[in-house]
Amino acid sequence: MKRLTIALATLYLAAPAAAKDIIRCTSKNAPEVVMSLEARKMLNKTVSCISGEFIADMTPCATNGGYGLSHPTGSASLREIVSRWQDYGDHHGGVTHHFVTPEKIHFDGGWMSDSFKTQWSFTADRLTGRAKLVIEKGEDREGQYEYVCSRVKQKF
Protein backbone atom coordinates (compact mmCIF):
# COMPACT_ATOMS: atom_id res chain seq x y z
CA MET A 1 0.00 0.00 0.00
CA LYS A 2 2.82 2.38 0.87
CA ARG A 3 4.53 1.69 -2.48
CA LEU A 4 1.28 2.28 -4.34
CA THR A 5 0.82 5.62 -2.59
CA ILE A 6 4.38 6.68 -3.44
CA ALA A 7 3.95 5.56 -7.06
CA LEU A 8 0.69 7.49 -7.45
CA ALA A 9 2.20 10.59 -5.84
CA THR A 10 5.17 10.40 -8.22
CA LEU A 11 2.87 10.13 -11.26
CA TYR A 12 0.78 13.05 -10.04
CA LEU A 13 3.81 15.28 -9.49
CA ALA A 14 5.33 14.32 -12.85
CA ALA A 15 2.17 15.11 -14.82
CA PRO A 16 2.31 18.39 -16.73
CA ALA A 17 0.17 21.24 -15.50
CA ALA A 18 -3.00 21.75 -17.49
CA ALA A 19 -2.54 24.32 -20.21
CA LYS A 20 -4.65 27.44 -19.85
CA ASP A 21 -6.92 28.51 -22.68
CA ILE A 22 -5.59 31.14 -25.06
CA ILE A 23 -8.12 32.35 -27.61
CA ARG A 24 -7.06 34.34 -30.69
CA CYS A 25 -9.72 36.33 -32.54
CA THR A 26 -9.20 37.86 -35.97
CA SER A 27 -11.27 40.26 -38.04
CA LYS A 28 -11.16 41.45 -41.64
CA ASN A 29 -11.42 45.09 -40.56
CA ALA A 30 -10.08 45.30 -36.99
CA PRO A 31 -6.88 44.38 -35.11
CA GLU A 32 -6.40 40.98 -33.48
CA VAL A 33 -7.79 40.28 -30.00
CA VAL A 34 -6.27 37.68 -27.65
CA MET A 35 -7.93 36.34 -24.50
CA SER A 36 -6.04 34.30 -21.91
CA LEU A 37 -8.44 32.49 -19.59
CA GLU A 38 -7.35 31.91 -15.99
CA ALA A 39 -3.74 32.00 -17.16
CA ARG A 40 -2.24 34.59 -14.81
CA LYS A 41 -1.94 35.36 -11.12
CA MET A 42 -2.37 38.98 -10.07
CA LEU A 43 -2.89 40.26 -6.55
CA ASN A 44 -2.91 36.61 -5.38
CA LYS A 45 -5.90 35.75 -7.58
CA THR A 46 -6.21 33.84 -10.84
CA VAL A 47 -7.36 36.21 -13.56
CA SER A 48 -8.31 36.18 -17.22
CA CYS A 49 -7.06 38.93 -19.51
CA ILE A 50 -7.85 40.39 -22.91
CA SER A 51 -5.52 42.30 -25.21
CA GLY A 52 -6.22 44.46 -28.23
CA GLU A 53 -5.41 47.88 -29.65
CA PHE A 54 -8.75 49.28 -28.46
CA ILE A 55 -7.68 48.95 -24.79
CA ALA A 56 -5.88 51.89 -23.17
CA ASP A 57 -5.02 53.14 -19.69
CA MET A 58 -5.81 49.91 -17.84
CA THR A 59 -4.66 46.38 -17.16
CA PRO A 60 -7.56 44.48 -18.76
CA CYS A 61 -7.73 41.52 -16.38
CA ALA A 62 -10.34 40.27 -13.90
CA THR A 63 -11.51 37.17 -12.11
CA ASN A 64 -14.45 35.23 -13.55
CA GLY A 65 -17.49 37.28 -12.54
CA GLY A 66 -15.32 40.00 -11.05
CA TYR A 67 -13.88 43.43 -11.74
CA GLY A 68 -10.24 44.43 -12.15
CA LEU A 69 -9.51 48.00 -11.00
CA SER A 70 -6.49 49.70 -12.55
CA HIS A 71 -4.45 52.61 -11.22
CA PRO A 72 -5.46 55.86 -12.96
CA THR A 73 -1.94 56.93 -13.98
CA GLY A 74 1.50 55.62 -14.75
CA SER A 75 1.56 52.02 -15.95
CA ALA A 76 -2.16 51.66 -15.06
CA SER A 77 -1.37 48.38 -13.32
CA LEU A 78 -4.01 46.41 -11.48
CA ARG A 79 -4.72 48.00 -8.09
CA GLU A 80 -7.51 45.79 -6.76
CA ILE A 81 -9.88 42.98 -7.72
CA VAL A 82 -13.47 43.07 -6.46
CA SER A 83 -16.40 40.74 -6.98
CA ARG A 84 -19.28 43.25 -7.03
CA TRP A 85 -19.82 46.46 -8.99
CA GLN A 86 -20.91 48.13 -5.75
CA ASP A 87 -17.35 47.71 -4.43
CA TYR A 88 -15.71 50.09 -6.89
CA GLY A 89 -17.87 53.17 -6.27
CA ASP A 90 -14.94 55.15 -4.85
CA HIS A 91 -12.44 53.96 -7.48
CA HIS A 92 -10.92 56.40 -9.96
CA GLY A 93 -9.40 54.66 -13.00
CA GLY A 94 -9.89 51.82 -15.43
CA VAL A 95 -12.37 49.01 -14.71
CA THR A 96 -12.43 45.64 -16.48
CA HIS A 97 -15.32 43.20 -16.02
CA HIS A 98 -15.20 39.56 -17.13
CA PHE A 99 -17.34 36.43 -17.03
CA VAL A 100 -17.42 33.02 -18.67
CA THR A 101 -20.38 30.70 -19.21
CA PRO A 102 -20.49 27.42 -21.13
CA GLU A 103 -21.81 29.43 -24.10
CA LYS A 104 -19.78 32.65 -24.05
CA ILE A 105 -16.74 34.59 -22.90
CA HIS A 106 -17.26 38.27 -22.11
CA PHE A 107 -15.03 41.23 -21.24
CA ASP A 108 -15.96 44.88 -20.97
CA GLY A 109 -14.01 47.88 -19.86
CA GLY A 110 -14.27 51.54 -19.18
CA TRP A 111 -13.42 54.40 -16.89
CA MET A 112 -14.72 55.12 -13.40
CA SER A 113 -14.66 58.67 -12.09
CA ASP A 114 -17.92 60.18 -10.83
CA SER A 115 -19.74 57.30 -12.53
CA PHE A 116 -18.80 54.34 -14.70
CA LYS A 117 -18.62 54.83 -18.47
CA THR A 118 -18.28 51.71 -20.63
CA GLN A 119 -15.80 52.25 -23.47
CA TRP A 120 -15.78 48.79 -25.08
CA SER A 121 -17.14 45.25 -24.80
CA PHE A 122 -16.02 41.98 -26.38
CA THR A 123 -18.20 38.87 -26.39
CA ALA A 124 -17.21 35.54 -27.95
CA ASP A 125 -19.70 32.74 -28.64
CA ARG A 126 -18.03 29.49 -27.55
CA LEU A 127 -20.38 27.39 -29.69
CA THR A 128 -19.92 29.17 -33.04
CA GLY A 129 -16.43 30.67 -32.60
CA ARG A 130 -17.73 34.10 -33.58
CA ALA A 131 -17.27 37.26 -31.54
CA LYS A 132 -18.22 40.92 -31.54
CA LEU A 133 -16.28 43.95 -30.38
CA VAL A 134 -18.36 47.04 -29.60
CA ILE A 135 -16.51 50.33 -29.15
CA GLU A 136 -18.87 52.93 -27.73
CA LYS A 137 -19.81 56.14 -29.51
CA GLY A 138 -17.32 58.92 -28.92
CA GLU A 139 -14.37 56.54 -28.41
CA ASP A 140 -11.51 56.07 -30.90
CA ARG A 141 -12.56 53.59 -33.62
CA GLU A 142 -16.18 53.58 -32.43
CA GLY A 143 -18.38 50.92 -33.99
CA GLN A 144 -19.02 47.18 -34.07
CA TYR A 145 -16.55 44.63 -35.40
CA GLU A 146 -17.10 40.94 -36.18
CA TYR A 147 -14.43 38.34 -35.31
CA VAL A 148 -13.70 34.65 -35.77
CA CYS A 149 -12.01 33.03 -32.76
CA SER A 150 -10.13 29.81 -32.10
CA ARG A 151 -8.14 28.24 -29.31
CA VAL A 152 -4.40 28.38 -29.92
CA LYS A 153 -1.41 26.67 -28.33
CA GLN A 154 1.66 28.48 -27.14
CA LYS A 155 4.77 27.86 -29.25
CA PHE A 156 7.11 28.11 -26.25
What are the sequence ranges of the domains in the chain? 20-152
Closest CA to 95 of 75, 114, 106, 111: 111
> How many of the other CB atoms lie within 10 Å of CB of 123?
16
121 Cβ neighbours under 8 A, 6+ residues apart: 106, 107, 108, 109, 133, 134
Q: What does the pLDDT profile of the chain (156 residues) look like in tens digits?
A: 444 334 333 333 333 344 589 999 999 999 999 999 999 999 999 999 999 999 998 999 999 999 999 998 867 899 999 999 888 888 889 999 999 999 999 999 999 888 889 999 999 999 999 999 999 999 999 999 999 999 999 888
pTM score of the predicted model: 0.85
Per-residue model confidence (pLDDT) at position 19: 54
Per-residue model confidence (pLDDT) at position 8: 36
